[in-house]
Amino acid sequence: MQEQALDFDQLEVGYDIPARPGMALSQVQTPALIIDLDAFESNIARLQADCDAKGVALRVHGKMHKCATAAHYQIAQGAVGICCQKMSEAESFARAGIKDILLSNQVRDPLKIDRLARLPKLGCKLSVCVDDAQNIEALSQAAGKHGIELDILVELESGAGRCGVGAGQPALELAQAIISAPHLSFKGLQAYCGTAQHIYDYEGRKAAIDKTIEEAKVTKELLESHGIPCEIITGAGTGTYPMEAASGVYTEMQCGSYAFMDADYQRVLDEDGKPLLHFQNALFIFTSIMSVAKQGGAICDAGLKSQSLNLAFPQFMAAPIYAMRLARMSMAILLTRMACCAPMINCCWCPAIATRPATCTTIMSVSEGTKLKPFGPSLHGASLSKSWRL
């Protein structure tokens, strides 16, 4: 769908947007998310080059940013498409013109299944995961109703103890059920070991992934022995993708965090016991100190609801260097887990900014069918220059 140009003159700084193009960093209303565009673009290029060198496809995970502009950029740099976890995410990306979407989860609610089956009519190629025979029947009926064919992946249980079936025979039986169902096409396996991504110890992380790789390999061989091609084996994440990419088993990487990175990934160690330095932290919280009344303490305007606490509190990012003292007020950049920017779809909004040495961008968020609401400015160092829709 065609994006509408934003009229910044009609938007009020502090209410609609954190800043306008041309404003200096010191004028940005806080709290705001800061995206370092140099780091972001470097991260995109690095992972794409790694995947290209290993001969595997990159399907970036849209749940990390939930931003169609970011997804379009990643695809323009070589990604084959995106994956997402929820029907609402898939729908928003499809309406924003993303052409290849994997819903790397199960969809069971009848209304959501019906909406799912309508998405290909927006011009996108769509695939979805299953781990239950009844779900296969429901998807088949919906696909037939809307005159489309759905690509289906069988999800393997890969260590999280949540979704997915066991490797081998259980996966084979589901693949056979998919092949027997009209309007569905079996494409392969979803095998993502999410629990391994933040295992700090390299050997522990490798052991978890080696097990996942072996289960995917055994299942693929069993499928092929029954005459069932397994075109796709998809999974992997930022913390483990070099292992899956070098396995000779996986065909597709599903990394997401690499684009922005986060504080916790700094604790993940490589084979030499050093922090993973492949990617740079690109997403930050820009916040102002609003009170220093308590001796030895300072209160900022980025409270708990401005942050993501699913792993740990944010870390100060080089506070002595980045802090700007203005009388008794100061501003600081916090290094945070990227998930703080996750609520960008369907009416949850938060400010954001991106920076580069001499220019600036405004990141705005919009969801189809909802009132346009800015996600925030994105600074390239000194001033704002363009808008992103999320």
Q: Does 323 share its domain with 182?
A: no
Does the residue 267 lie in any domain?
no
Q: Does 17 share its domain with 51?
A: no
Whether 387 shows a pLDDT value over 60: the answer reads no
Q: Does 63 share its domain with 140?
A: yes
Q: Does 218 share its domain with 288?
A: no
Q: Does 322 share its domain with 215?
A: no
Q: Does 148 share its domain with 202?
A: yes
Average of pLDDT values for 205-232? 98
- Angle in degrees, 0-180, between the axes of helices 87-95 and 68-76, rounded to the nearest 10: 70
Whether 67 shows a pLDDT value over 60: the answer reads yes
What CATH code is carried by the domain that includes residue 214? 3.20.20.10
Confidence at 333, pLDDT banded by 50, 70, 90: very low
Q: Does 140 share its domain with 253?
A: yes
Token output for 40: 């972001």
Average of pLDDT values for 17-42? 86
Does the residue 45 lie in any domain?
yes
Does the residue 3 lie in any domain?
no
Q: Which residue has the tokens 């260097």?
A: 321
Expressed as residue numbers, the domain containing 320 is 8-36+278-388
Does the residue 269 lie in any domain?
no
Q: What is the pTM of this model?
A: 0.83
- Angle in degrees, 0-180, between the axes of helices 133-146 and 169-180, rounded to the nearest 10: 20
Amino acid in position 121: K
Q: Does 78 share its domain with 126?
A: yes
Whether 147 shows a pLDDT value over 80: the answer reads yes
Q: Does 107 share its domain with 254?
A: yes
% of the chain residues with pLDDT over 90? 58
Q: Does 231 share its domain with 304?
A: no
Question: How far is the C-alpha of 47 from the C-alpha of 50, rounded, in Å?
Answer: 5
Based on the structure, what is the number of domains in the chain?
A: 2
Does the residue 314 lie in any domain?
yes
Question: How far is the C-alpha of 259 from the C-alpha of 65, rounded, in Å?
Answer: 9
Domain stops at, among 193, 225, 259: 259
Instruction: Provide the β-strand partners of residue 291.
Output: 299
Does the residue 265 lie in any domain?
no
Does the residue 2 lie in any domain?
no
Q: Does 161 share its domain with 12?
A: no
Does the residue 340 lie in any domain?
yes
Average of pLDDT values for 305-329? 55
Q: Does 83 share its domain with 57?
A: yes
pLDDT digits (tens, 9 = 90+) for 169-192: 999 999 999 999 999 999 999 999
How many Å separate Cα 288 from the centre of its chain?
28
Model pLDDT, residue 208? 97
H or E stretch at 335: strand 329-335
